[in-house]
Amino acid sequence: MITEMISWLCFVKASFLCKEDKKIQTHIVKKICKQYKKR
């Protein structure tokens, strides 16, 4: 369930934050995505 939430965050939220021009939050999401992909 946690894995699904992280996948959803990476897929949906990252693009949403990019569109909203919230660069700091987008950067944080990208960092989380990178750590998630390493696992």
Domain ranges for the chain: 1-38
Single out the residue of 27, 26, 32 nearest to residue 3, CA to CA.
Answer: 32
User: Over 80: is that where the pLDDT of 20 sits?
Assistant: no
Provide the pLDDT for residue 17. Answer: 58
Work out the mean pLDDT of the chain and round it to a whole number. 70
| C-alpha distance from residue 24 to each of 4, 11, 18, 21, 27 (Å) | 23, 17, 10, 9, 5
Section 17-38 average pLDDT: 70
